[in-house]
Structures are given as C-alpha cells and as structure tokens.
Amino acid sequence: MKLKIKFTIKHIFRYIYIVLILANFVALYFAFNFTKKYVYQAIVLDQNELIQASRSAGNLSVDKFEEIIKKIEQKSVH
C-alpha cells in the first residue's frame, strides 16, 4: 500500500488561509467576551450603584447624622 502525499504551494496556502479564518473567529470570540465583561457590565453596574445610592441617600435622617457628628466631637474633646 503506497501513500501518496502531495504538498503543493496551493494546498499549503489553502491550509494557512483556513487556519487564519479560524484564528479570527477565536479572536472575535475573546474580544466580544472582553468587551462584554469589562465595558458593558461595568457601565450597567455603575448605573445600578448610582441608582441605589441615590435611593438610600434620600432615606437618611439629617438629625441622626448630626447626632453622630456631635458624639464624635464629644469623644474627640475628651
């Protein structure tokens, strides 16, 4: 049984072209995941944190805050 393996320039360039196409798909996949994780989610999380902070800041009592400051000042004097 004889094996005839032909490697011509045409075949080599065809395989290189296929490998480059596959490498581009892999690169696009990693680029998409990177932008989704570090760009999109960061923007969405920052907006959610700002909304939660603005809601919780409205519920604070100024009188209670002033009492805490007075207690801290009294402890620092003594």
Secondary structure string (H, E, C) spanning 4-65: CCCCCHHHHHHHHHHHHHHHHHHHHHHHHHHHHHHHHHHHHHHHHHHHHHHHHHHCCCHHHH
Angle made by CA atoms 41, 44, 49, in degrees to the nearest 5: 120
Maximum CA extent, the chain: 100
Q: Is the pLDDT of residue 73 over 70?
A: yes
- Residue 40 identity: Y
pLDDT tens for residues 17-43? 999 999 999 999 999 999 988 887 777
pLDDT at position 4, please? Answer: 73
Entry pTM = 0.47
pLDDT tens for residues 57-70? 555 667 777 888 88
Site of tokens 């009592």: 61
